[in-house]
Structure 1
Amino acid sequence: MNNKLVMTDFIVFGIYFVLLAAYGYMIYRKKKKQETSATHDFFLAEGSLTWWAIGASLIASNISAEQFIGMSGDGFFVGTAVAAYEWIAAIALIIIAVWFMPVYLKNKIYTMPQFLKTRYNESVALIMAVFWLFLYVFVNLTSILYLGAVAINGLAGGEYLHFIMIALAVMGLIITLGGMKVIGFTDVLQVGVLILGGLATTYLALTKVSESFGLGHDAIAGLKMLFKDSPDHFKMILSKPDSGTVSAALAGDAASQNYINKYLLLPGITMYFAGQWIVNLNYWGCNQYITQRALGADLKTARTGILFAAFLKLMMPIIVMLPGIAAYVLHRNGGLEGFNGVKDTAYSSVLAFLPEGLKGLSVAALTAAIVASLAGKLNSISTIFTLDVYKKYLNKEADENKQVWVGRLTVLVAMILAIAFTWKDLLGIGGEGGFTFIQKYTGFISPGVFAMFILGMFWKRTTGTAAVAGLLTGFLLAIFFNSYAINIFGTETLLYTAFPNGKGAYEIPFQINMGWSFFFTMLVMIVLSLVGKGGEQKAFVLDKAMFKVQPIHTVMIVAILLIITALYAYLW
């Protein structure tokens, strides 16, 4: 098993970089010749992104090192149950396309803080603008950069972490400084490389499984062997641990504790009534980083692009999850020499089997995902700071060219901060694991944010006071359920069941925490809005015609739902 890249791999990777840079420069030159609004062109690429560019950009920005490393690792640990994050996301994208985008586009919403100002008041918008800036810089941007550098460094021999970190940062900056149009269209190339390299990795992993069991060089035979060897890894719904399993875990049984840890991560059918929807609807519908791709388009183009992204989400588990399951099967049957069994190294262990050239293509796919995510996150940081902070509070007279230059300076400062905090991993991302790091900090705020948006869109009575109270309530409840509920109410209540986490304490599954935090936050906001006044004055005007979908969109939606239904029926 060879973990190092050779010259052929570097050549393939170099070709990818040259193509990306050349294509981005071509888009940038073409863009400069067009007569468009400077700010809308830089921040939103207004009217210039096609549906396929929007869809590809959504996926390129979403799939990054935390998916390749984290989700592959969870595939190694749990199996297909982790695919819920991708397949429920596809349904969430349908909801966003049909119901959220008409509200945004009808009311000419370009940023999420602008939505909050228009619907509530400036205080709510400013609070959230500052929060999002801190979250995007110190949680998302840092984790993407750190995880990506660590992953690629492991494949390059383990001696180039800081060099790779700088290289990723520079590539992200080059694309971002060209504006959203350059990001959007280069993301098409990025997604192409991501899918091609990802599928190549999955194919080689499956053929390696096939060879290990004496079945020849046959990927389909390898896939069948995964099902045969580890049927427990092909269950979408984990059953709740019974009292016997809990007692065995407390008595020191490693297998029982291992199963409980899986359930804590993906708590069976209950997560489909709780956190899974909040995570996905908040991420895809209330997140500047994501919605920005579609906010500059007309409704038909935006909807088609978002539904195209939903189709792409259906295949993402093949790329980011199956290699992890293959690594699990190989490892338990002695086919991964030198592998330490740590789940977050599962994907890189599979890459080690790839032949020269293909390993370079897979690294290019991983790099494409990282660079696209960095560029998208940087553009969102730039957009929020420039349009929602600088223009509104620091320099109200700034013209469009000055706003673009402030946006570019913001991009540079954000990346410098990210490098400074990841250089020696000051935030402890490596210790917690990137996927856990992101979920931990975004999960505390997601219930309150999503409650603000969903009530603000579709219930006229919702007030600004209720919005602020909801944000604080969601945050405090998330902390309460995570850290204090068990000590006060015990391990078994009508609301939750807590399980031993193998570290000497009990824990409530975080998706259950999120679900109850959201429920009580909604309750608080509804009560405050009913007793308060003024919500109707700033409510959005809604009409049924806004939500009517065209036949092509109906066909796409039905196809997506049928595929997901078939997948769940087969893997239940």
Structure 2
Amino acid sequence: MNPMFPLALSNQLHAIDYGVFLVYFAIVSVYGYWIYNKKKRDEASTTDFFLAEGSLTWWAIGASLIASNISAEQFIGMSGDGFRLGVAIAAYEWIAAISLIVVGVFFLPIYLKNRIFTMPQFLKERYNESVALIMAVFWLFLYVLVNLTSILYLGAEAIRPMLGIEHSQGVMVALAIFATIITIGGMKVIGYTDVIQVVVLIFGGLATTYIALKMVSEYLGIDGGAIAGFNALMERAPDHFHMMLWKPGPDASPEYVSKYLAVPASMYIAGQWVANLNYWGCNQYITQRALGADLETARKGLLFAGFLKLLMPVLVMLPGIAAFVLHQNGQLQEQMLKNGQVSGDQAYSAVLTFLPIGLRGLSVAALTAAIVASLAGKANSISTIFTLDIYKRYINTGASEKKLIWIGRLAIVLSMVAALAFTWQDTLNIGGEGGFKFIQKYTGYISPGIFAMFLLGMFWQRTTGAAAIAGLLSGFGLSVFFNEVAPRLSRENLLYTAYPNGKVIDGAPVYEIPFLICMGWAFAFSILLMVVISLFGPKVNPKAFAIDRTMFRVSPSTLALIVIILMLLGALYIKFW
């Protein structure tokens, strides 16, 4: 055993690790309290509390976007997918960088010009109140019962072993309290504390990746440190370094088919774009960070987030590939087991067991930062939608600014309590289904319809309210059809090919269409249906937004940033094609 890893294979934190973690907690708390006191005199404004209007800088917006996005499902789920699939899973992060460019250039000008503060407000002003109310209620249930619950459960399960705690409920309560304290301070507190969270996340993540690569070189007897470890990964697991997984042939191995089902190359035609653009452009707790800023600041914030997205696979995917190579060479045999079987979801925690004193505390702090920031972001969005789109509009139309802020804070507390109640005994079976699958199951089915509704609502003035409702319902129905019904009707046709997914029911193999291909077709047919219905309406819908091409012009500095991101992304795809 190399002396660099004095606590190898130990799950327990040292006193120094606890000290590092407490320093992180103290810095975030003190800084958040200072920001809160600094803005307290302006607190009577709801736009300040919910949006931090005009007070977030571009770097705070970008950092807050990443902090809200990265959580336990990335650290655990993407590391696990790195173990199973390799670099192909990085598409979720790297295509997100392009999606952020698209949102910044084309979506944000429409939101900001029309003073859109919430996504239900967009639907009300573009379509009608019925569409807005339906989606407001839906988003509240989704954010509380899917997002908050999954983050709490996965976060507690990830941190609990490092603390040597048998049950996760205490960790859940601590995470919920920490996130609530940050959230009730308002968006400005969230935005600026997220900067610290992202710094901790990046440095802790880089430290974990460095040690993982160092471990590979040490255990394989290769000189050269982390760089040699990375080269060893490419040599020992070449199948893990291909971005494009092409359609399997008749002789393809079950392992390759399993990888293709998760990230097929054809997803780049539509499905991957639907997932990313819907998430980054039509999602309250993401877009909310930019809606309170001016266009130039908001755009630069999104582009800064785009740069950080290029880095994320290094933090959360490479440790998974390192764990795969180590496992293939006889290491981490016990650490990769879950319920007696090898599980990729154990990869990140397995790597953490090798971190030296101090760095382990930093890595746990990074994981905690990601979890708390995501909880705070989602809780703030729940508060914003409930207060502005339901309470103010339907319950108390004459409420004062001060009353609205306190209602928003009450919504934050109640949403956290509800999330804790559903995760206390894992009532929703998040652990049984797997965290990433749980999230995809309840969000992926509705993404095609929502994105179709937003996309045509923004850029086609003829789109009607009836078409919007039809698109939303058809998107969900088609997603269910392609995922659950179509593989039983036909295994191959012009639209898709279904493959055995390794499961067997009543002695017969179960066939599956890649999820992202299903999403692409559901989106395409939803768009087609919306177009047909809208053609029966007026040529210009009275509620359509006016679009001026000058809205989409970017400054020279913004254009330079876009070009740099695209060049970096192009280099990555050329390297790992």
- Under TM normalisation by the shorter chain, which class is it? over 0.9
Residue number in structure 1 paired with 2:227: 220
Aligned AA (2:37)? R
Cα distance in 2 for partners of 1:534, 1:4 equals: 66
Map of 1:261 onto structure 2:
258
2:484 & 2:257 partners in 1: Cα distance? 19
Distance in 1 between residues matched to 2:318 and 2:170, nearest whole Å? 30
Alignment of 1:173-572 (within 5 A): 173-216=180-223, 218-245=225-252, 256-267=253-264, 269-339=265-335, 340=337, 341-488=342-489, 490-504=490-504, 505-533=510-538, 536-572=541-577
Residues 80-120 of structure 1: CA distance to partner in whole angstroms, max 9, x if unpaired?
A: 00000000000000000000000000000000000000000
Secondary structure of the 1:565 match is helix
Measure how far apart 1:158 and its partner are.
3.9
Q: Is the 8 A contact 2:180 2:412 kept in 1?
A: yes
From the superposition, tell whether residues 36 and 301 of structure 1 become closer, same or farther in structure 2 (CA, over 3 Å).
farther
Give distance in 1, aligned partners of 2:433 and 2:193.
32
Contact 1:173–1:411 under 8 Å retained in 2: yes
Greater mean deviation of Cα atoms: 315-324 or 330-339? 330-339
Question: Is 1:81 equivalent to 2:88 in the alignment?
Answer: yes
Task: Tell me which amino acid in the other structure corresponds to 2:331.
Answer: G
Where 1:334 maps in the other structure, the secondary structure is coil
Q: Deviations over 1:53-96 (max 9, x none)?
A: 00000000000000000001000000000000000000000000
Distance in 2 between the 1:486 and 1:220 partners?
A: 44
> The residue matched to 1:484 in structure 2 has which SS?
helix
Q: Distance in 2 between matches of 1:368 and 1:289?
A: 17
Structure 2 Cα separation of the partners of residues 122 and 82 of structure 1: 39
1:464·1:535 contact (CA, 8 Å) conserved in 2? no
Residue from 129, 139, 153 that aligns with 1:132: 139
1:5–1:156 Cα contact (<8 Å) kept = yes
CA displacement 1:406-434 (0-9 Å, x = unmatched): 10000011000100000111111111111
Q: In 1, Cα distance between the equivalents of 2:496 and 2:56?
A: 45
Aligned 8 A contact 2:44 2:402 in 1: no
How do 1:60-79 and structure 2 match up within 5 A? 60-79=67-86
Superposed, which structure 2 residues align to 1:106-125 within 5 Å?
106-125=113-132
Question: Cα distance, 1:274 vs. partner?
Answer: 2.1
Q: Deviations over 1:486-507 (max 9, x none)?
A: 223x100100000001112100
- How far residue 337 of structure 1 moved from its aligned partner, in angstroms, is 4.1
Q: How many Å separate the matches in 2 of 1:419 and 1:379?
A: 16
1:275 & 1:110 partners in 2: Cα distance? 27
Please state if 1:163 is matched with 2:163: no
Output the CA distance in 2 between the equivalents of 1:193 and 1:203: 15
Post-superposition shift, 1:532?
Answer: 2.1
Counterpart amino acid of residue 350 in structure 2: S
> Which residue is 1:20 aligned to?
28
Distance of 1:421 and 1:499 partners within structure 2: 35
Moved more, 151-160 or 110-119: 151-160
Inter-partner Cα distance in structure 1 for 2:63 and 2:80: 24
Cα offset for 1:243?
1.5
Taking the aligned partners of 1:378 and 1:344, their CA distance within structure 2 comes to 26
Q: Distance in 2 between matches of 1:350 and 1:76?
A: 12
Please tell me the residue identity of whatever aligns with 2:526.
T
Which SS does the other structure have where 2:483 is aligned? helix
1:94 aligned to 2:101?
yes
Q: 1:239: how far off?
A: 2.2
State the alpha-carbon separation in 2 of the partners of residues 12 and 60 from structure 1.
20
**Residues of 1 paired with 2:297 and 2:368: CA distance?**
28
Deviation at 1:36, TM superposition (A): 6.1
SS at match of 2:503: coil
Corresponding residue for 2:16?
Answer: 8
C-alpha separation in 2, matches of 1:309 and 1:508: 32
Q: Contact between 1:46 and 1:297, CA under 8 Å: does it hold in 2?
A: yes
Structure-1-length-normalised TM-score: 0.97
Q: Which sits farther off after the overlay, 74-83 or 328-337?
A: 328-337
- Name the CA distance, whole Å, in 2 between partners of 1:241 and 1:37: 59
Shift of 1:435: 1.2
Secondary structure class of the residue paired with 2:191: helix
The whole-number CA distance in structure 2 between the counterparts of 1:510 and 1:221 is: 36
Alpha-carbon distance, 1:37 to partner? 5.1
| AA partner of residue 494 (structure 2) | L
Mapped contact 2:17–2:358 kept (Cα < 8 A): yes
Q: Secondary structure at the match of 1:537?
A: coil
Aligned-pair distance for 1:216? Answer: 4.0
Specify the code of the residue in structure 2 equivalent to 1:257.
P
Structure 1 residue matching 2:251: 3-state secondary structure? helix
Is contact 1:194–1:366 with CA below 8 Å preserved after alignment? yes
Runs of 5+ consecutive residues of structure 1 not aligned to the other structure: 246-255
Structure 1, residues 370-405: CA drift from partner, whole Å, max 9, x if none?
A: 000000000000000000000001111111111001
Instruction: Quote the Cα distance in structure 2 between the aligned partners of 1:216 and 1:272.
Output: 39
Verify the 8 A CA contact 1:201 1:323 in the aligned structure 2.
yes
Instruction: Structure 2: state its 5+ residue gaps.
Output: 1-8, 505-509
What is the rounded CA distance, in whole Å, between the counterparts of 1:375 and 1:434 in structure 2? 19
What CA RMSD, in Å, does the superposition of the two structures yield over aligned residues?
Answer: 1.0
- Number of residue-to-residue matches in the alignment: 559
Percentage of identical aligned residues: 65
The equivalent position to 1:44 in structure 2, one of 44, 51, 55, is: 51
- Three-state SS of the structure 2 residue aligned to 1:462 is coil
The amino acid of 1:280's aligned partner reads: N
Rate the CA distance shift 1:391–1:492 in 2: closer, same or farther, 3 A: same
**CA spacing shift, 1:21–1:217, aligned 2, 3 Å:** farther
Question: Counterpart of 2:529 in structure 1: which amino acid?
Answer: V
| Contact 1:266 1:509 survives alignment (8 Å) | yes
SS of match in other structure, 2:432:
helix
**Shift of residue 258, structure 1, vs aligned partner:** 2.0
Q: Deviations over 1:168-209 (max 9, x none)?
A: 000000000000000000000000000000000000000000
The amino acid that maps onto 1:458 is F
Residue in 2 that maps onto 1:249? none
Secondary structure of 1:501's partner?
strand
Name the CA distance, whole Å, in 1 between partners of 2:485 and 2:245: 26
Q: Which amino acid aligns with 1:445?
A: I
Kept in 2, the 8 Å contact 1:64–1:373? The answer is yes
Deviates more, 1:549-558 or 1:159-168: 159-168
1:217 is displaced (CA, Å) by 6.5
1:296 partner SS = coil
Rounded Cα–Cα distance in structure 2 between residues aligned with 1:78 and 1:105: 39
| Distance in 2, Cα, partners of 1:451 & 1:415 | 31
Q: How many Å apart are 1:533 and its aligned residue?
A: 3.4
CA contact 2:488–2:511 (8 Å) conserved in 1? no
Letter paired with 2:512: E
Contact 1:336 1:349 in 2 (8 A): yes
TM-score, with length taken from structure 2? 0.96
